[in-house]
Chains A and B, each alone.
Chain A
Amino acid sequence: MSDTTDTGPVLAADGTPLKRSLRRALRAQKLRALALIAPLLIFVLVTFIAPIADMLFRSVENQIVSNTLPNAVATLNDWDGTSDGLPGEDTFEALYYDMFLAAEAKRHTRVGSRLNYEESGISSMFRKSGRGVDDIGEDQIDALEDINDVWGDETFWFTMMSGPDGVAKANGILSAQRERLANLDQSSFAGEIGFAPSQQIADLLPRTVRAYTAFAVFTAIEDEDIVAEEEPWEAVKVALIEDLRSGIDLSGYDGPGAQELREAQQGLANQPAIDYKQGFIDITEDWANLDNWKTIKMYAPPFTTGYFLNAVDMQKTPEGFQPRPENEQIYGILFKRTLFMSLMITGSCILLAYPVAYLLANLPMRTSSLLMILVLLPFWTSLLVRTSAWKVMLQQQGVINDTLVWLGLVADEGRLVMINNQFGTIVAMTHILLPFMILPMYSVMSTIPPYYVRAARSLGATNWTSFWRVYFPQSVPGIGAGSILVFILAIGYYITPEIVGGTSGTFISNRIAYHISTSLNWGLAAALGSILLAAVLILYWAYDKIVGIDNVKLG
């Protein structure tokens, strides 16, 4: 009482202000809790959240075109994609080097199949080009080797490109080519290759050195051969021809091969220029097709909305986003079907679960625990066991048809088709998901006190009124919780539709699986998955708001 005048802070036993002491204790507690959670959180982030994020990234990622055809794509920036003219000769020349390297690394078919998703026919165009690309400039190469056959000699090339011992090296070009190949092949091109171009020759013959360095890196790392013992690719010789024809001045050069270079420059002067455009068109007419070029230009940027547009039956055209042709619109139908069937399944689960949950909640404890086993047993049984059971029951020579035929309700020739269609999927999935509806309904209904219904009845309500106006509104939270749970589970189901769904009873998830394992269109699979994921997350959020994830109960 005498301390009432003392307004100083309350102190803890050790003399620090109590407030601070408490705060410190609280912080220690928080840190301890976080330290306990952290390992699991990191584990889930790495093993589960990161893969999901990776999938989302893949649905927009489109680096394959710019990684495989970097030079051609760069020149296409200047090309007006809407005009009627084909891209210029410089694009075709750049395409030649890109295609040559891609064909050596066997990556040209990949970019071909990627672009084929957008414009059919491109795949075969790239495949043919990969085979025929080394024919371009054949005559000129023959002329070069006729002038002096050292141009077919690997040691000569190696010496000329490396320059004399101790000369300055163009390491920038080397690392640029390593990176270029790493992007192209999606693997590492680091490591010793036993070659580096000399700075002098790099300044003199830029194209040739780039091409030769790429050749050297690829030969040493990918083929694991010795660079000095391999004859350079045709593309290197073509690059040399272009360099020599561009009118460079060789008079100041005195390094290895100076004599042969001057001789070649003179000899090539009266040769015709290499016509890359005609060369490609000779391989396949498709290169003269403007649409193919528009597609390449359209899908050159490293990120694309193409997969998402495809997933909603749209396509990107130079005129903007447009719906796909009627006969190619499959995903809209599939999404609608997934939605419709999930709603049907949820609806039939509500219808079947409500009476059962009501019965279980209103029976004496002993009986209801006994009956609960009948609900929990299917819940605990392997999904594949239940699916195989439905396959056994529903097929044409199955148990249900046999029983119907035995009873004479159905003629032997007129056996019902109950599997490999929507009916089979809905029946099997209703059975599989029914426990997920019964359990939340039961837990809500068992908390509804019986007095209200009795009060309503004693006040004169009929059976129906007392149920509909008094009991039912109290059981709605259970219906909501169960429905969202069943719906979330239903729209992502894969196994059961795959086995009993045939073609007309499959879900969007079956299409995703198809694109991952069969058509290998991973980007589209990722886009479809992202859309499905978004739908599920919205429902998950709603579930959390209505029920709370903490309240999920098992068994």
Chain B
Amino acid sequence: MTLTIIEPKPVSFVALVVAAAGAFAGLLVGTAHDTPFMGVLLGAAVAAVLAVVWLTVFRNERTARWLTFVAFGAVGFFYVGLMGGVIGLAFGAFFGWFIFWLGEGRYRAKLPPYTTAYQVFLHFLFRVTCGAIFIFLITPILVVMPLSFNAENFFTFTPEMLRLDPEGYSLKHYRDFFSNSDWQQAMRNSLSIAPMATLLSVGFGTLAAIGLSSEHVPFRRAIMAILISPMIVPLIISAAGMYFFYSRLGLQGTYWGVVLAHAALGIPFVIITVTATLVGFDRSLTRAAANMGANPLTTFFRVQMPLILPGVISGGLFAFITSFDEVVVVLFVGSAGQKTLPWQMFIGLREQISPTILAVATILVAISIALLTTVELLRRRSERLRGMSPG
């Protein structure tokens, strides 16, 4: 099918590019040993020699890659220790793959055969840029996770951690989270507020979404604008307004005040997801049910509800996460008795910085991964139910 011709590239070209990569790797290693200049020279030389040897003298790719992998790892382990070994293995794997990927011309495999060298270069430059942006997106989360296992009360990697010394790691921040009464109380508050708020927003929201998706709704646009507004109005304004208004009603600083506020904030998410599910809902099904003698309630619970359930559940998850994550409104509408997990984290970040926050953060990331997976599975199920293919 592919027209691209994959052919070996001149060794001089490969050696040059690999030497540049080697120089960069050498810079990293060299600066760590206070000799950046030596690092660059040595890195470039080793990489270039390796490329020439593997591509001209020793052309067995499998063996060559394994050799590089093991050799780099051994050198790293010998000079630096465990962490050096790991870094060496990574470098070895990369250079082994890189030399043959370039040398065999495999990098053009997915490009049209007419692309010029410059266009190939641009293509890979673009890919590398995107990779950097993805790293930017994901790094903060990846940094938090290992740091939460820090044995010290620092917010940075200790030398023990970098040496992969088991001494440098511990579960003490997790232990602190599970034994500290402040955190436990905050956890309990979060877990009592969020489900109640979710229940309110899902209950009202689903009904309204069904109403909104029928064919003739007067003032549909205006109603939609009002219902979506809690998502658009800046949280600080919602918080200020609710603080003023709920204090007039005596709701400020009470459980129900926070629940009502969070329910209002979660409603737009329920409306959006449920109306999106209802767009694909086949109305002839309800008519068929009515035709066969089912009353509206039966029709709703036996026909419509099972079909839109995935949408309702993912809307509910959104509402749950909104309440579970919310800090600005609860900060104003709640009092010390409603201190939620995000509030406790906020205090921790602003005043008494303790790495327990990182342990909590890791737990929350794990929870959000679980929720994300659930939502994705529900979306696929919903599309399968509606006869569309997932994706």
Q: Assess the B144–A35 pair: CB atoms within 8 A.
A: no
Contacts of B104-118 to chain A: CB distance below 8 A: none
In the bound assembly, the distance between CA atoms of A463 and B371 in angstroms comes to 42
In the bound assembly, the distance between CA atoms of A385 and B325 in angstroms comes to 10
Q: Assess the B349–A554 pair: CB atoms within 8 A.
A: no
Q: Assess the B225–A388 pair: CB atoms within 8 A.
A: no
The answer to whether A32 and B214 touch (CB under 8 A), given A359-B130, A398-B155, A529-B240, is yes
- In the assembled complex, A36 has its CB within 8 A of some CB on chain B: yes
- In the assembled complex, A55 has its CB within 8 A of some CB on chain B: yes
The answer to whether A532 and B208 touch (CB under 8 A), given A382-B361, A463-B122, is no
- In the assembled complex, A431 has its CB within 8 A of some CB on chain B: yes
Q: Assess the B217–A549 pair: CB atoms within 8 A.
A: no
Contacts of A380-432 to chain B: CB distance below 8 A: 380-393, 395, 397-399, 402, 406-409, 431
Q: Interface stretch among A42-50, A99-107, A272-280, A328-336?
A: A42-50
- In the assembled complex, A238 has its CB within 8 A of some CB on chain B: no
The answer to whether A536 and B244 touch (CB under 8 A), given A388-B345, A389-B361, is no
Q: Assess the B129–A492 pair: CB atoms within 8 A.
A: no
Q: Assess the B211–A35 pair: CB atoms within 8 A.
A: yes
Contacts of B321 in A (CB 8 A): 380
In the bound assembly, the distance between CA atoms of A437 and B49 in angstroms comes to 45
- In the assembled complex, A459 has its CB within 8 A of some CB on chain B: no
Q: Assess the B157–A498 pair: CB atoms within 8 A.
A: no
Q: Assess the A398–B156 pair: CB atoms within 8 A.
A: yes
Residue of A nearest to B270 (CB): A40
Q: Assess the A378–B350 pair: CB atoms within 8 A.
A: no
Q: Assess the B218–A43 pair: CB atoms within 8 A.
A: no
Q: Which of A44, A380, A407, A408 has the most CB of B within 10 A?
A: A44
Q: Interface stretch among B4-12, B61-69, B168-176, B362-370?
A: B362-370
Q: Assess the B365–A381 pair: CB atoms within 8 A.
A: yes
In the bound assembly, the distance between CA atoms of A32 and B216 in angstroms comes to 10
- In the assembled complex, B267 has its CB within 8 A of some CB on chain A: yes
Type the 1/0 row for A483-517, where 1 means its CB is closer than 8 Å to any CB of B: 00000110111110011000000000100110011
Q: Assess the A51–B238 pair: CB atoms within 8 A.
A: yes
The answer to whether A40 and B358 touch (CB under 8 A), given A48-B264, A355-B126, A494-B236, is no
Q: Assess the A408–B368 pair: CB atoms within 8 A.
A: no
Contact of B372 among A376, A529, A536 (CB under 8 A): A376
Contacts of A190 in B (CB 8 A): none
Q: How many A-B residue pairs have CB under 8 A?
A: 281
Q: Which of A34, A39, A389, A509 has the most CB of B within 10 A?
A: A389
In the bound assembly, the distance between CA atoms of A229 and B179 in angstroms comes to 57
- In the assembled complex, B31 has its CB within 8 A of some CB on chain A: yes
Q: Assess the B216–A29 pair: CB atoms within 8 A.
A: yes
A interface, by DSSP: helix, strand, loop or mixed? helix
From residue B212, how far is it (CB to closest CB) to chain A in Å? 6
- In the assembled complex, B154 has its CB within 8 A of some CB on chain A: yes
Type the 1/0 row for B121-157, where 1 means its CB is closer than 8 Å to any CB of A: 0100011011001101111110110010000001111
Contacts of A491 in B (CB 8 A): 234
The answer to whether A47 and B264 touch (CB under 8 A), given A30-B217, A382-B364, A382-B368, is yes
Q: Assess the A54–B241 pair: CB atoms within 8 A.
A: yes
The answer to whether A39 and B216 touch (CB under 8 A), given A494-B328, A516-B243, is no
Q: Assess the A492–B391 pair: CB atoms within 8 A.
A: no
23 A-B contacts (beta carbon < 8 Å): A29-B215, A33-B217, A40-B207, A44-B267, A47-B260, A48-B230, A51-B244, A55-B241, A355-B130, A365-B391, A377-B369, A377-B372, A380-B369, A382-B365, A384-B349, A385-B364, A392-B143, A398-B156, A499-B349, A522-B244, A536-B232, A553-B276, A554-B273
Per CB-CB distance, the 7 closest pairs between chain A and chain B, nearest first, are A492-B234, A36-B211, A389-B140, A51-B241, A51-B245, A40-B208, A55-B241
Sample of 20 further A-B pairs with CB below 8 A, known A377-B141, A388-B144, A529-B240: A36-B207, A37-B208, A41-B227, A43-B204, A45-B226, A356-B134, A377-B138, A380-B372, A381-B368, A383-B325, A385-B345, A397-B156, A399-B156, A399-B157, A489-B234, A492-B237, A494-B328, A499-B349, A552-B231, A552-B272
Interface of B toward A, CB cutoff 8 Å:
28, 31-32, 34, 36, 119, 122, 126-127, 129-130, 133-134, 136-141, 143-144, 147, 154-157, 200, 204-205, 207-208, 210-212, 214-218, 223-246, 248, 260-261, 263-264, 267, 269, 272-273, 275-276, 318, 321, 324-325, 327-328, 332, 342, 345-346, 349-350, 357-358, 361, 364-365, 368-369, 371-372, 375-376, 379, 391
